Amino acid sequence: MEKHKKYNTEVTGAEAVILALLDENVTDVFGYPGGAIMPVYDALYDYMDRLNHYLVRHEQGATHAAQGYSRVSGKPGIVFATSGPGATNLITGIADAQIDSTPMVCITGQVHSHLLGTDAFQETDVVGISMPVTKWNIQVTKAEDIAPAIAKAFYIATTGRPGPVLVDITKDAQFGKTKYKHEKCESIRSYFPCPKVNEEEVNAAAELINNAKRPYILCGHGVLLSGAEKQLLALAEKADIPVASTLLGLSAFPPTHPLYVGYLGMHGNYGPNYLTNECDVLIAIGMRFDDRVTGNVSKYAKQAKVVHFEIDPSEINKIIHADAAVMGDAKESLDLLLPKIKSQKRTEWLKRFADCNDVEFEKVIKEAINPNSEKLRMAEVIHKFHNISNGNAIVVTDVGQHQMITSRYYKSNIPNHFVTSGGLGTMGFGLPAAIGAKVAQPNKEVVTVIGDGGFQMTIQELGTIMQSDIAVKIIILNNNFLGMVRQWQQLFFDRRYSFTEMKNPDFITIAKGYGIKGKKVTERANLEDALKEMYESKQAFLLEVVVENEENVFPMVATGASVSEITLE
């Protein structure tokens, strides 16, 4: 069917949805049909040669798949769901996308407009419910308003600080007739997605950086979202500044570069956390000073001047006061900053990080990756997997101890090749997000690392893998516990393991039921070969590795502690 065959001719509102998506260059959709979205699915039937639909097994899986798709492609992930429970099942994934600044367009069906507010079958006020966790949402009740609403949705989702949007379309609007015409949305009155960079702010930032003795860069997800990786590298190299990454900023800076000092956060590296309270100028680029990064705010970098590069005005001075705030896109801001920066060398300051890294290696890393214990440990699994993949795989994690271990021991060489749930910390994220990542990058190896607890939250998405033949590789680090909660119970609740021990099913048999090859490893001697078999498989593969059940993740910044009070054991 030719792209413009039905332009300016009468189509249904449902077909207008499909045409609008095609005009936004959408090729893939994740969804689950139902009564109120059925007209859209009926229209999709005629466009299956141009729009790939992936049938998930739960609507939450659709949102996480859309997130994974977006994070590795840079394009918004697209979701279809029906009204009522279908729409409410999207909320967790939408909230996750909102806090992690992931562009996503959710299209939900709704009951007929004359039934709104009557508690009709499968009616829910999804606009009201989703309002706190969307960047923008709208309910459409007329066919002629569908195409403009979708065009606006794409513009809002992808500009400025990205985020999820939701378009709720009543069933009569889907059945209604309209003349379709695509008009790309390029501006909205009163919406200014990207502040214009102020050169005076850039000058103030440059002055602080040039006069610094111990400057320190914290890079976040905003660097990746703006595509500012080269500018960040140029800044660090020109001024010889150490660079640490937030969880979502991982892969924004080359992990093998001598200026890369590690990753921040509660279970991040020792030096990057500890030395935050020794720098004299803290340069935050595309990060929001999340509590997992700052620890106790009253004790955070009090000795330092703070330079904050940020696209969202609401983040400036929200948590940490900025002495110089540069509003705007990170790439544009750094392009303006670079000519104003003086070349310097900071040998002694960089040595402080190297010394801290040596301490961490001796007290934590050496034993973690090459343990003396009989049982396998999470860190050695991820370390071996990193060596097998050379850091080139797209790695997606779920949430928990395995997430922190993977963040520490897997070094992603390629930008946007590390995907995880950061701000919301959503268990169940990993498997469907990996599906979306593989759909977006079919020629890349996509491996998801999941705990036994999180895997069972969205285990049904193995059905999506089976039906669509998606070659996702799965590593389950099975410690038969909800590991992160158990660690806190051990350290702060006198080992009172209240409902954190897991009696798990036979994961390999379950995978076999979905037509997915699997293998279980319990012995160190079999680990490397099993990892290679999984990684080299041409089809989906599930590798379960049974690990020590009371292993803890260190270093650790305890709740309420300062980053300089980070403990190594």
59 has catalytic annotation: yes
Cα 144 to Cα 16: distance, rounded to the nearest angstrom: 9
Residue with tokens 């005009």: 23
* Active-site option among 1, 121, 230, 303: 121
How does DSSP assign 40-52, residue by residue?
A: HHHHHGGGTTTSE
How does DSSP assign 409-429, residue by residue?
A: H----STT-EE---SS--TT-
484 has catalytic annotation: yes
User: CB within 8 A of 468, min separation 6: which ones?
Assistant: 54, 55
Beta carbons of 320 and 297 less than 8 angstroms apart? yes
- Give the end-to-end CA distance of the chain in Å, rounded to a whole number: 63
Cα 263 to Cα 365: distance, rounded to the nearest angstrom: 14
Ramachandran region of residue 33, left (φ > 0), alpha (ψ -120 to 50) or beta? beta
**How big is the chain by its Cα radius of gyration, in Å?**
24
Cα 313 to Cα 293: distance, rounded to the nearest angstrom: 20
User: CB within 8 A of 448, min separation 6: which ones?
Assistant: 395, 396, 397, 398, 430, 431, 433, 434, 472, 473, 474, 475
Residues linked to residue 121 through DSSP beta bridges, in sequence order: none
Torsion on CA atoms 265, 274, 263, 303, rounded to nearest 10 = 90
Query: Which whole-number Å values give the CA distances from 164 to 1, 28, 102, 106, 131, in the listed order?
Result: 30, 16, 6, 7, 11
Indicate the pairing of strand 10-12 with strand 177-179.
antiparallel
Torsion on CA atoms 262, 265, 271, 276, rounded to nearest 10 = 120
139 has catalytic annotation: no
**Token pair listed for 398:** 């779920």
* Active-site option among 327, 484, 502, 534: 484
Residues linked to residue 140 through DSSP beta bridges, in sequence order: 169
* Active-site option among 15, 30, 171, 266: 171
What are the two backbone dihedrals, phi and then psi, of residue 217, each rounded to the nearest 5 degrees? -100, 130
* Active-site option among 15, 24, 59, 315: 59
Torsion on CA atoms 474, 480, 481, 482, rounded to nearest 10 = 30
- Catalytically active residues, by annotation: 59, 121-122, 171, 484
